Amino acid sequence: MTPKPTLLLIDDEERILRSLAMLFRGDYRLHTTTDPHEALAIIGREPVHVIVSDQRMPIMRGAELLRQVREKSPNTMRLLLTGYSELEAVVASVNEGEIFRFINKPWDAAELRDTVRQAADISRSLMAAGPVAPPQPLFTETGSFVAPALVKPSETLLVIDDDAEVVQAVQEIVGPSMAVLWAQTLDQAMTAIEQHEIAVIVSELVVKRETVTPLLKLLKAHHPEVVTVVLTPFQDVSVFIGLINQGQVFRLLPKPVRRGPLGMNIASALRHHRALRDAPKLRVAYQVEKIRQPEEATGSVANRVMGLLSRIRGRTAASPGA
């Protein structure tokens, strides 16, 4: 018989912890705690497949706990549980904890059980596959972006933004180390994706009054190796949560752009892309949630994106050796 997966639940409120535990008792080897330090101790002494953490805790916020869990046990799938209005928590959860899902309180019991089951399956497959060789560093000793070796000359960075200062900043950061394409409209972005092998996308959420969000979500669902950094002054928490759960965006950065953080995050995104490209088994950890908003699933933008993805699939299937 296959052993039960291990699930760690943490919340500073005993009442919520008991409610959560009731959902999973019997199906998992269960740990519960109100202390983040105890949670880290458990992670350190035994394999834990999934951790579900509250955000608002007096000793340590959930995003910080999940950041430390990621460092200790990268194959433990991380879920953050919190209220809908906490912008800081949403941004920190993706930028620091690289979480699998963001779960709102009050939670839907069936949906939460399904999400944890999916996360446990992914974690088991990652743990069974064994460790992956670390990717080549892309930082200098001072933490700046360093020109990576052109192992794959076709590797391309795509900037989707109608602000010329953004693409100029990106070009100055990466220099001649890799090709940078600039798309000022959604159609230009889709043409670039169709014609080039895109490694990293640096994108606004709206260009020329068209939303880029469906493109980012659907592209990630079909090409998990493409890594996205979102730059935006826009601060709609519900949009950000959708980008995490359905788009697995790698980073959310505020505008106006600060070149230091942007350079470090581009380097980190490129390193992450190479890890996903070279080790397909890792891609399973970045499965996205099914898109459920009708306006995005059936809108003209979504239809155009689905057409793009269909053409790419057709081209791949027709190529020799596909």
Tell me the per-residue pLDDT of 147-189, one tens digit each, with 9 for 90 and over.
455 555 678 999 999 999 999 999 998 888 789 999 999 999 9
Contacts of 215 (CB under 8 A, 6+ apart): 160, 186, 189, 190, 301, 305
Alpha-carbon gap, residue 258 to 95, rounded angstroms: 15
Would you say residue 317 has pLDDT above 90?
A: no
Residue burial 158-170, b: 16+ Cβ < 10 Å; e: rest:
bbbbbbeebbebb
Q: In sequence order, what are the residues at sequence separation of 6 or more whose Cβ sits closer than 8 angstroms to the Cβ of residue 196?
A: 154, 156, 158, 179, 181
Which range among 46-50, 137-141, 218-222, 276-280 shows the weakest confidence by mean pLDDT?
A: 137-141
Question: What are the phi and psi torsion angles at 17 (to 5°)?
Answer: -60, -40
Contact 113, 82 (CB under 8 A): no
Distance, CA of 162 to CA of 73 (rounded, Å): 39
Q: What is the pLDDT of residues 210-260, one digit of tens each?
A: 889 888 888 888 888 899 999 988 777 777 777 777 777 888 888 888 888
Per-residue pLDDT tens for 68-112?
A: 998 899 889 999 988 766 777 777 777 776 788 888 888 999 999
For residue 47, say if its preceding peptide bond is cis, omega within 30 degrees of 0: no
pLDDT tens-digit series, residues 277-315: 877 766 666 666 665 554 454 567 778 888 887 887 776
pTM over 0.75? The answer is: yes
